[in-house]
Amino acid sequence: MADHQESTLTLPGAPESVASARRHVSAVLGAWGLDPAAPLTDVVRLIVSELATNAVRHTDDTSPYFTVALRLDRDETLTAGVTDRDPRPPRRLPAELCRDGGRGLLIVGLLAAESGGEVATVPDPGGGKTVRVRLPWPSAGR
């Protein structure tokens, strides 16, 4: 296998694009040899779903699209990120029992930590930002 593999998909900043992002993640991870039933598949799908939802809901009119990027380095580290054009960094809202939202970044952080990974927000030199998660790729035979 090559030193790394990459896949990107740019989608409109519309609610229905979140499902497209999840399908893209499933297809790419499967093409890279990850079993669809592997726990990491569900983790990455949920992380990308939460980040894509944030890109759609919280960027107002500053980001008419968002990009999902996946990268697998040397069969060791998977990086999944969502880039939008809104320059404001994401912020975790207080999770109130009666609120429908506000838990996305908390969920992303917990999933990353439980999987041995990390979350970072990286400013994009062209404007905007990428919220990315780095996770260990399962060893062969797992």
- Tell me the pLDDT tens digit for each residue of 17-26: 999 999 999 9
Residue 46 lies in a domain: yes
Q: What is the pLDDT of residues 43-92, one digit of tens each?
A: 999 999 999 999 998 877 788 999 999 999 988 999 999 999 998 888 76
CB-based burial label for 131 (10 Å; 0-12, 13-18, 19+): buried
User: Where in the sequence is the domain holding 108, given as residue range(s)?
Assistant: 4-136
Residue 141 lies in a domain: no
Residue 11 lies in a domain: yes
Residue 52 lies in a domain: yes
SS3 of residue 120 by DSSP: strand
SS3 of residue 122 by DSSP: strand
Residue 83 lies in a domain: yes
Encoding tokens for residue 131?
A: 């919220």
Residue 9 belongs to domain with CATH number? 3.30.565.10
Residue 142 lies in a domain: no
Residue 106: other Cβ atoms inside 10 A: 13
Residue 127: other Cβ atoms inside 10 A: 12
Number of independent structural domains in the chain: 1
Looking at residue 64, what DSSP letter applies?
S
pTM for the model: 0.89
